[in-house]
Amino acid sequence: MEPSSGSRDAGPAVTPVAAVLPAGGSGERLGGATPKQFCAVQGRPLVSYTVRAMERISWISNIIVVVSPENIETMKSIIEKYGHKRVVIVKGGITRHRSIFNGLKVFVENEFSNHLLQKPEVVIIHDAVRPFVEEDILSKVVMAAKEHGAAGAIRPLVSTVIASAADGCLDHSLERARYRASEMPQAFLFDIIYEAYQQCTDYDLDYGTECLHLALKYCKTNAKLVEGTADLWKV
């Protein structure tokens, strides 16, 4: 199981691009003592497949992997064992948004990096537990982000979404054709998403999950939605 990245010659080669991979989750829904990003699939940790999919793409300059403090040494050993390049490990926060924010800070705040990395024009945000990511969709969201400020992959809803009333009975259902599932990867002009995170409230950082919403809420940046392929699923 090795994700492919497509042709290395394609993509926005002239644009400085970095990737931030939040990998700090506890994997509670999967169960088990090991967070799913570190679970072995055919003998290799899941996060390693995702990192490899990114590092195969020559135009991604830096790959920031954000992990919880207790898993930093585990991530270091994975990088060493599998020879990953262009990877920087960052200590995550207690929530997804706080972890992503920490990943962005390595480009602009000395507190989070011994030496600041070159700030990218565009930053990709992609879950560490989504290993089947191709260069084609990454290139599409990056180019769309350059034009619109933000972009994200979407997929049609597989199931109808319903709302329940207070008594536990059906209240209403959504017209499935009008809605889409927000997927990864997403991409942003770095200055837009960093400004959005700087303006976030604690409530946003603690309970939010959607990065595209932050760009819209705080920077008035309406993301371009890019139709993704069926293999963008999250483990």
| CATH classification at residue 205 | 3.90.550.10
The number of folded domains in the chain is 1
Q: What percentage of the chain reaches a pLDDT higher than 70?
A: 87
Which candidate, 149, 140, 157, 146, places its Cα nearest to that of 194?
149
Q: Is 175 exposed, middle or buried (0-12, 13-18, 19+ CB in 10 A)?
A: exposed
53 is a domain residue: yes
Q: Using CA atoms, how far apart are residues 65 and 204, in angstroms rounded to an integer? A: 21
pLDDT at 33 over 70: no
Q: Is residue 188 part of a domain?
A: yes
Q: What is the pLDDT of residues 180-234, one digit of tens each?
A: 889 999 999 999 999 999 999 999 999 998 999 999 999 999 999 999 887 776 6
Q: Which domain holds residue 125?
A: 17-230
pTM: 0.87
Is 39 within the bounds of a domain? yes
Q: Tell me if 64 is assigned to some domain.
A: yes
* Token code pair at residue 163: 């709302």
Within a 10 A sphere around the Cβ of 127, how many other Cβ atoms? 22
Helical spans, DSSP H, in the chain: 46-55, 72-82, 96-105, 135-148, 190-199, 202-207, 211-219
Q: 41: which strand partners? A: 44
- For the segment 168-180, the average pLDDT, to the nearest whole number, is 89
Distance CA 139, CA 9 (A): 11
In a domain, 11, yes or no: no
Q: Which of 26-40, 72-86, 112-126 has the highest mean pLDDT?
A: 72-86
Name the nearest CA neighbour of 65 among 56, 115, 57, 54: 54
Q: Is residue 105 situated within a structural domain?
A: yes
Residue 216: inside a domain: yes
Residue 174 lies in a domain: yes
